[in-house]
Chain A
Amino acid sequence: MSGHDAPPTLGLSTGPATSLSYHTGTWRTERPVYVDLAPPCSLACPSGEDIRSWLGSTQEGEAGFETAWRRIVAANPLPAVMGRICYHPCQAACNRGEVDEEVGINAVERFLGDTALERGWALPVPTASSGRRVLVVGSGPAGLSAAYHLRQRGHDVTVREAAAEPGGMMRYGIPAYRLPRTVLAAEIRRIEATGVRIECGVRVDSLDDAQAEFDAVVLTVGAGVAHHVDIPAGAAAKIVDAIDVLRDVASGNAPLLGRRVAVYGGGNTAMDAARTARRLGASDAVVVYRRTREQMPAHPTELEDAVGEGVRVQWLSTISEVSGPTVTIERMELDESGRPVGTGVFEELDADTVMLAVGQEADLSLLSGVDDVDVRDGVIAVDPGTLMTGRDGVFAAGDASPGSRTATFAIGRGARAAAAVDAWLASRVLPAEPVVREAEASRLNAWYYSDAPKQHRAELEAARRVTGFEEVLAGLDAEHAVFEARRCMSCGSCFECDNCFGMCPDDAIRKLGPGMRYEIDYDYCKGCGICAAECPCGAIDMIPEER
């Protein structure tokens, strides 16, 4: 033998997985990075709910329901209410609308809200007290939200409400067929159970007195006064304010309206009024609106529901005169800028009663004589960031302050006001709301979402609706709520579908376990971009590699 070191075999065999010593990550020109972007639903939610997150918990079924509900009430203490009355701008923004149909967020919220009421889940009670006293004037959605969030921060909160019962427009403006009073009362009681004191039938008429009693005041007095238009009317004409009718119905004093009712206006109150008129026995309810369907401020579903109950709409029409059993209507047309102008063509409409639903105003009598709180355009002027009025320690939110007059907006502003009061009481600067990147539909890879239509809530038959004030929409059952929640595409936030992990040709992604998501092994990731391209929810960015 030649005494050399030749191996016994020559196949250049080698050990398994020895390639780990070769780091292909050096090839990379772009690197994938996991991101968490803001979903359009949450960005569109005036209440500031983290919708994606609570839908995510709901997806887990029974085990996740309470977590989901707690995630809602972190922003909105009234899920059962809002699950019924919210116009759900979240759904209009939902990216799933571009795939099949938007997720029925509102229905899931209601399911969670109702489940919480059924099971008696309580809101958190603050353990520590700040020792500071805050007055909230008005118990509408803005007031209740402000009170709740202030209480969560440990403040001693009193709500003073001029009406006999708390709830504001939720109690007196929204018909019971849309929001059963028991649901509203239960959710308000639950807020009271956290230590918020609500005093009804107490009108606050002096800001100075209030400030003397409390460390801070939040004005959430709403906009419960009907706006009026001047219409020539004969002596026999019966003209009423829609908001008053709704309030009377809500207070148990349903008025007699007659068989033919004309409702003047195009907002949600007009829809509520017309539908209420039908329930009160009107065989004919006509909404007279001076613009077109596209321009109508009422939410499309409200209009649909109204029409479904037999309400008619007279588009491009103004009421020019009310004279007893008939109403004179002028046909309108749109000018070049889209504004309605009269055509000089008139027609008659039979109507026993005209209900005016042409807007509402805030009752700002409290501010008469207060010169350091500005009122502009009929509402209380506030700092857009802190919601503080011109007077130190006085804040305003809800319909009495600038912005959208919806319950969801009111809840969001109430929460914001609470944060601002909290900061002001502590002499802290309220941080600006962070700028977030939106998870736009173009980031999604919708291929991966199974085809499944929205779970339609079983609607009561239209005929049955007009006979009374039973709740119109049935809620989802647990199975359907879970199903609906699972339609959420989790836009911009990893939901652990394993696509990146499974589809990496370089085996360069590690799966960290439930809830822990993934980790990219940059020693080996070549930056091909498949993970980003195939991420269903757009939660991976490809960014240029820094060398």
Chain B
Amino acid sequence: MREVLEGSQAVARTVARCRPGVVCAYPISPQTHIVEALSVMARTGELRDCEYVNVESEFSAMSVSIGASAAGSRAYTATASQGLLYMAEAVYNAAGMGLPIVMTVANRAVGAPINIWNDHSDAMAMRDSGWLQLYAADNQEAADLHVIAFAAAEELGIPAMVCMDGFVLTHATDVLELATQEQIDGFLPPYSPTQVLDIDRPTTIGTMAGPESFTETKYLQHLRFLDAADVVEAWSDRFTEAFGREAGGLAVRYDPDTLDRDRSAPPAGAEDLVVVAMGSVIGTLQEAIAPMRAEGLPVRLVGISAYRPFPREALKAALGESRHIVVIDRALELGSGGVLTGCVGRALAGTGSRIHSVVAGLGGRPILEGSLRDVIARALAGEQRGLEFLDLKTGGVPVPPVGATEVAR
């Protein structure tokens, strides 16, 4: 059934249909609509056999999720920005403990300066936390990714973040087709944790590892993470088969001409410039690139859906023979460049690829089709420098009004 829905509502309903046992969250924009909707469903009984817990901080939200997951419940939370960083210690902990919690990150800039609008700097700060990070290109995928996230996380024993751009997706309304309860019940295996606080089979969870075992523990975690790419891809494929639409995956391919998402699209060619991006900017890029293709310009689009694990092989396969890449980055590694660019660069090390880094849309700055076309065109013309801040205003930021400081004193 297709319906008109806000992204947050779509996510909340889909999460509810995944039958979490415990939902725990602390409010932060732009995540609030998701958890508000879940709290209502828990209160009305639409979300059955589920505890909705209002906590006093994101740190506790994640901690409650840890406890709930360890006690045998499918646990869900959502946050953004400062909230994600406030829970950072527990985020790492959940991954280290192998608890398959699913968390929506309504991506938002990290202060200071405080800013409530979208970019990816929050999730990027947690890129090495040991969580899966799945990025939604649009609200349909945002909703669908949660089903895949629960499935993959629980198979792997690795928690998963579903990243959706704050406001741009969370507060945007689209015509969507949500997975129904019956569909999800048929698709998502029931939660059966491999380690659980069971009074009949007691176990100790969360021991201390000394120098004699810490490296090996991390190495095993690394190997497990390598498995994750296959598992995420497999669940994404299964999803496509079950629901008749693509969602998730690793590196996402788009039809060269229609720019529609298409997993059977051919890899890029040697002549192509490939734009690599993730999140909602994909939609803007589809709109920006289509006319360029119509003009005969050799531009292709590849999306990153699974940022963690980073899909090196899938990306290389999608890039094919192309050695000319523009990465649209929504997070900045200060003094270096885009965060995603760094990952792409490492994946393509030794291939002789030229990689342009375009940092765009920080703190909610709109990413305009025209600006994207302009930067792509310049890249094609060989006029684009290594690192560019899209639509950067000259002259920095406005100066406070003259005298205001004096008056305040």
Residue numbers of A with Cβ under 8 A of B are: 1-2, 4-16, 18
Per a CB cutoff under 8 Å, which of B204, B224, B226, B230 touches A10? B224
- Would A10 and B98 count as touching, CB distance under 8 A? yes
Minimum CB–CB distance for B394 against chain A, Å: 49
Output the nearest chain B residue to A11 by Cβ-Cβ distance: B97
10 additional A-B residue pairs with CB within 8 Å, beyond A4-B227, A14-B204: A1-B230, A2-B227, A8-B156, A9-B99, A10-B95, A10-B96, A11-B99, A12-B207, A13-B195, A13-B205
Q: Which of B215-223, B240-248, B280-288, B319-327 sits within the interface?
A: B215-223
- The answer to whether B97 touches A10, judged by C-beta atoms less than 8 angstroms apart, is yes
Known: A2-B226, A2-B227, A16-B203. A9 touches B220 (CB 8 A): no
Chain B's closest residue to A18 (CB) is: B204
In this complex, what residue of B is CB-closest to A4? B223
Please give the distance in Å from B36's CB to the nearest CB on chain A.
32
CA of A6 to CA of B231 in the docked complex: distance in angstroms? 14
CB distance from A12 to the nearest CB of B (A): 5
Cα A459 to Cα B322 in complex, Å, equals: 115
Which single member of B98, B156, B202, B226 contacts A11 (CB below 8 Å)? B98
With contacts A9-B98, A9-B194 taken as known, whether A15 is within 8 angstroms of B227 at the C-beta atoms is no
Of A1, A8, A15, the most chain B CB neighbours within 10 A belong to A8
| C-alpha gap A9/B66 in the complex (Å) | 14
Q: Which residues of A contact B97 (CB under 8 A)?
A: 9-11
Give min CB distance, B384 to chain A, whole Å: 38
The A interface is mostly helix, strand or loop, or mixed, namely loop
Closest to A16 in B: B202
Cβ of B173 to closest chain A Cβ, rounded Å: 39
B209 beta carbon closer than 8 Å to chain A? yes
Give a binary string over B91-102; 1 marks a CB under 8 Å from any A CB, 0 the rest: 000011111000
Q: Across the interface, which residues of B come within 8 angstroms of A10, CB to CB?
A: 95-98, 157, 217, 220-221, 224
CA distance A213 to B221 in the complex (A): 100
Contacting residues, chain B, for A13 (C-beta < 8 A): 195, 203-207
- A9-B203 contact in complex given A1-B230, A2-B226, C-beta closer than 8 Å: no
Chain A residues contacting B96 (CB-CB under 8 Å) are 10-11
Q: Chain A's nearest CB lies how many Å from the CB of B200?
A: 12
Complex Cα–Cα for A2 and B228 (A): 10
Which B-chain residue is minimally distant from A19 (CB atoms)? B204
A12, B207: Cα distance in complex, Å:
6
Contact of B206 among A2, A4, A11 (CB under 8 A): A11
In the complex, what distance in Å separates the CA atom of A7 from the CA atom of B195?
11
A4 partner residues in chain B, CB cutoff 8 A: 220, 223, 226-227
Q: Within the complex, what minimum Cβ distance (angstroms) separates B352 from chain A?
A: 27
Chain B interface residue count, Cβ-Cβ cutoff 8 angstroms? 25
Q: Are A15 and B206 in contact (CB under 8 A)?
A: no
Could you list 24 A-B pairs, sorted by A, with CB under 8 Å? A2-B223, A4-B220, A4-B226, A4-B227, A5-B220, A6-B220, A6-B227, A9-B99, A9-B157, A10-B98, A11-B96, A11-B205, A11-B206, A11-B207, A12-B206, A12-B207, A12-B209, A12-B213, A13-B203, A13-B204, A15-B204, A16-B202, A16-B203, A16-B204
Smallest CB gap from B98: residue in A: A9
> A63–B223 Cα gap in the complex (Å)?
70
Q: Which residues of B150-170 are within 8 A (CB) of A? A: 156-157
Whole-angstrom distance between the alpha carbons of A68 and B230 in the complex?
81
Q: Which listed residue, B95, B99, B227, touches A1 by the CB 8 Å rule?
A: B227
Within 8 A of A (CB), among B75-101: 95-99
Are A8's CB and B98's CB within 8 A? yes
A-B residue pairs, 10 tightest by C-beta: A9-B98, A11-B97, A10-B98, A6-B223, A9-B157, A6-B224, A4-B223, A6-B220, A13-B205, A12-B207
- Bound: A4/B221 CA distance, A: 11
Are B217 and A12 touching (Cβ within 8 A)?
Answer: yes
A413 to chain B, nearest CB (A): 65
A7 partner residues in chain B, CB cutoff 8 A: 220, 224
- By a CB distance below 8 angstroms, the chain A residues around B157 are 8-10
A256 to chain B, nearest CB (A): 90
| Chain A min CB distance to B167 (Å) | 35
| Chain B window 188-202, contacts with chain A (Cβ cutoff 8 Å), 1 for yes, 0 for no | 000000110000001
Minimal beta-carbon separation of A22 from chain B (angstroms):
13
Please give, as numbers and ranges, the residues of chain A lying within 8 Å of B230 by CB-CB distance: 1
CA distance A4 to B224 in the complex (A): 8
Bound-state CA distance A18–B195 (Å) is 17
Q: How far, in whole Å, are A314 and B206 apart by their CA atoms in the complex?
A: 84
Enumerate chain A residues within 8 angstroms of B217, measured Cβ to Cβ: 10, 12
Q: Which residues of A contact B99 (CB under 8 A)?
A: 9, 11
Give the residues in chain A near B223, CB-CB below 8 Å.
2, 4, 6
Q: Which residues of B contact A18 (CB under 8 A)?
A: 204
Would you give the shortest CB distance from B342 to chain A, in whole angstroms? 24
CB distance from A236 to the nearest CB of B (A): 99
Cα–Cα, bound, A6→B228 (Å)? 12
B3 to chain A, nearest CB (A): 38
Contacts of B209 in A (CB 8 A): 12
* Closest chain B residue to A2, Cβ basis: B226
Q: Closest residue to B214 on the A side, CB-wise?
A: A12
Q: Mark B343-354, 1 if CB is under 8 A from A, else 0.
A: 000000000000
Contacts of B221 in A (CB 8 A): 6, 10
Given A6-B220, A8-B98, A9-B195; A14-B207 close (CB under 8 Å): yes
B206 cross-chain contacts in A, Cβ below 8 A: 11-13
Contact residues in A for B156 (Cβ distance below 8 Å): 8
- Taking CB atoms, residues of chain A closer than 8 Å to B95 are 10
Contacts of B204 in A (CB 8 A): 13-16, 18
Taking CB atoms, residues of chain A closer than 8 Å to B213 are 12
Least Cβ distance of A217 to chain B in Å?
Answer: 76
A5 to B227, CA, bound (A): 11
Q: How far apart are the CA atoms of A2 and B206 in the complex, in Å?
A: 26
Q: How far is the CB of A232 from chain B (nearest CB, A)?
A: 97
- Asked whether B194 lies within 8 Å of A8 as measured between CB atoms, the reply is yes
Q: Interface 1/0s, chain B 29-57, versus A by CB < 8 A?
A: 00000000000000000000000000000
Shortest Cβ distance from residue B308 to the other chain A in the assembled complex, whole angstroms: 15
A5 to chain B, nearest CB (A): 8
- Report how far A79 CA is from B157 CA in the complex, Å: 78
Contact of B98 with A15 in the complex, beta carbons under 8 Å: no
Residues of B within 8 A of A6 (CB): 220-221, 223-224, 227
A12 to B95, CA, bound (A): 12
Bound form: Cα–Cα A7–B224 in Å? 8
- On whether the beta carbons of A14 and B203 are closer than 8 Å, the reply is yes
**In the docked arrangement, what's the CA distance between A326 and B224, Å?**
116
Determine how close the nearest CB of chain A comes to the CB of B233; give it in whole angstroms.
Answer: 11
Most buried by B among A2, A4, A8, A9: A9
Contact among B203, B220, B224, B226 with A15 in the assembled complex (CB-CB below 8 Å) = B203
Interface centre among A10, A13, A16 (most CB of B within 10 A): A10
Bound complex: CA A6 to CA B130 (Å) = 15
Q: How far does the Cβ of B98 sit from chain A's closest Cβ, in whole Å?
A: 3
